[in-house]
Structure formats: C-alpha cells, structure tokens
Amino acid sequence: MKPDELEAMVAARGAVRRGHFALSSGLHSDVYVQKFRVLEQPQDARRLGAAVAALFDSGFDVVASPAVGALLLGFTTALAANVRFIFAERVDGVMSFRRGFRLEPHERVLVVEDVVTTGGSAAEVVALLRLAGARIEGVGALIDRSGGPRAELGLGAPFRALLRLQADAWPPEVCPLCASGEPLEDPGSSRPSGKSLD
C-alpha cells in the first residue's frame, strides 16, 4: 500500500482530527488520530497488516503488540505473515505478557504498534521481549507522528511506519493550547480514568 493511498483512506474516514487532545503518552497535541476508524473495515485492516508485514519482508516468527490500540493491526500483520500473534497489556501500570503467552528462546519478533508518538509503549514491549530472550526484528506501525528522527525513539530496533504525519505534541506544562485556554479533549485513553478504548 502506497503512503498516498493510506493518506486518502485516513482522510476519507475522518480519522485525523484537529483540536486540543490528551494523548495516551501523556502529551498534549493539536492532532488526534482515531486509528480505529482506519481499521474498522476488516478488509482494510487486513490490507494494512499485509503492508506492515511487507515492510519487514515477513522475516519474523511472532508479532507482539501492546494492548489495546494495536491489537487489530498486530493481528492482521501476523495473519499476512502466517505467524502467531501475542500481546502485552498493562498490569498495575507495568507492561506484561499474560494469558499464557510464551516466547521460545531466539524467536524473531516484530513489534507492531498503531500510532507512534513517543514510542513509549513500543519501547516497553521491546524491553519485555528482550527480557524473555527474543530477538527483535523491528517495530512496525501504521502511523509515525513522532515528528523527530526515528533514531530518537530509542527503540534499539529498526522502526518503519506506513505513514508519517506532521503533528505537534508537548508536555502539558508547556502546551500552548493549555496556555490559551483551549478546552482539552481526551478522546481515548488507557489511563484508569479513561472510559474509551485506546
């Protein structure tokens, strides 16, 4: 899938919103990507998963994603590569593998994330996998909205995304939108107070 094709899909679904948003990374931003709108058609989710798998030449044995946001894309990436899919989830704020998920030593793992802002959740999954003795082949994502050079994400593994999106993000204390009194929206959060999916 070409970037302009994905861009058109994102636009057609109204998946990119402008305003003042609290992101799950804790940063504030003027742009919010409602990625589930891009993935709500199963056929599209399948095509996007195939495109992510192709970014890494399907050179992996397992796909691992952080819950909840990346579950659909991680699953369809694994489907395209015909490998198994596991996910990590937060338990008392700490990313963990539960539900009996196991990794064999030296299994090659592709981490799949949905939208990367700081790379924080992906980095946590990478660290967790390394502890389990896995080999990280890379981190794949639907959208890279980090804005900076990819090396700065500190993932310690190749990072590739289907689409790069220009968006500003700030820690709340220096957010210019907070400073100008713009109402803050929390469109989808994994924080305990959040009610919607992220």
Residues that bind Zn ion (CB under 5 A): 28, 175, 177-178
Cα–Cα dist 4/18, whole Å: 20
Q: Smallest distance, Å, CB 188 to Zn ion? A: 16
Ordered alpha helix ranges (H), the chain: 3-12, 35-39, 42-55, 71-81, 120-131, 176-179
Comparing CB distances to Zn ion, the nearer of 29 and 146 is 29
Q: Smallest distance, Å, CB 197 to Zn ion? A: 22
Tokens of 151: 């090396």
From the list 30, 43, 34, the residue with the least C-alpha distance to 12 is: 34
Q: How far is CA 25 from the centre of its chain?
A: 11
Q: Smallest distance, Å, CB 17 to Zn ion? A: 15
Comparing CB distances to Zn ion, the nearer of 151 and 174 is 174
Q: Are 123 and 152 in contact (CB under 8 A)?
A: no
Burial of 135 (0-12, 13-18, 19+ CB in 10 A): middle
Q: What angle is formed at CA 90 by the lines to CA 85 and CA 92, rounded to 5 degrees?
A: 155
Comparing CB distances to Zn ion, the nearer of 43 and 193 is 193
Comparing CB distances to Zn ion, the nearer of 23 and 177 is 177
Q: The sheet that has 159-164: what strands, in order across it?
A: 94-97, 84-91, 62-66, 108-116, 135-144, 159-164
Comparing CB distances to Zn ion, the nearer of 28 and 35 is 28
Comparing CB distances to Zn ion, the nearer of 156 and 176 is 176
